[in-house]
Amino acid sequence: MQTAAKLFSDSPNSQRTIIYIGDGVNRCNFLSNQQHRQLIDDLVQQQITFSTFVIGPITDIGNLASIANHTGGILYARQAIQESTQVIGRNLGRSAAMPVVWVQEAQLPTSVSSQLPQRFPPLRLDRDSVILGHLSSAPSAGQVQIVGQVAGKTIQMHWDIHPEASHPDLGFLTSLVERHRLDGGLNLAALGSDGLRALSLVMADSATDMIKSGRFALASGQPESALRIAEEALKQDPGNPEATSLKTAAQQAL
């Protein structure tokens, strides 16, 4: 990726896109968090978008999605797409020419005390962008203001936003924010709303595996372990009835 980045011209008006086709699995020279951050910083500084078509028996979608998220790219996963590879290729080609807004300044409503990723991700026209964070006060209507660059030109954008009612299906966001708070959202793979939904399914699957382990612990006479597992499963998938049932059974067995 670093080699590909050196091949672009220095023209500030050109659209720069790296398209990667592969599994994303690094079998040697594993990147540390600092090296991963430096790679993303270099791409953002040069305004190079990273998009990918993930294919292979074993893939690292999370790592590729986090890079695409921070650089305004897109991701196609072969196992999740019904179209032919020719159609996917054409879509990747079109995405390479899609304008990307590189955000220079972002102003969120005053009720938002922190955000993830800490650096506002680039914006695209063919998918939405996801920002997670904490609220310091009750949610209220407000405005998001953006100053960014597109092909070397500065633009300003703003949107009026209104809070929606809480929904149990979004309960996983609390755990997701806590998980990525320490690295500032560096490894956050929420590539648009579709990516966020995919993360929720992964976390739900993780909770299901935890529940199986918790039931085994309870049946083995270890209610303390079962309770801890149930509580962790509820962080991953709040409202999960099986995790709630396991927690109740473990508490009764103490």
Give CA–CA dist 215/229, Å, rounded.
9
What is the model's pLDDT at position 29?
65
Q: Crossing angle, helix 192-219 and helix 172-181, to 10 degrees? A: 100
Structure-token pair, residue 1: 């990726």
What is the model's pLDDT at position 42?
92
Give CA–CA dist 172/15, Å, rounded.
36
The pTM of the full predicted model, rounded to 2 decimals, is 0.80
Give CA–CA dist 211/247, Å, rounded.
10
Give CA–CA dist 110/129, Å, rounded.
20
Structure-token pair, residue 136: 């310091």
What is the model's pLDDT at position 80?
64
Q: Residues 6 or more apart from 137 whose CB is under 8 A from it? A: 110, 111
What's the alpha-carbon Rg for the chain, to the nearest Å? Answer: 21
CATH topology of domain 2-97: Rossmann fold (3.40.50)
Helices (H), the chain: 2-5, 33-45, 61-71, 85-97, 172-181, 192-219, 223-236, 241-253
For residue 223, give the amino acid letter: P
Measured from the Cβ of residue 114, the count of other Cβ atoms closer than 10 Å reads 14
Running along the chain, 254 residues long, what does each successive block of 10 average in pLDDT?
Answer: 79 81 79 86 92 88 91 83 80 86 93 92 91 86 92 92 85 87 89 88 86 91 91 86 92 90
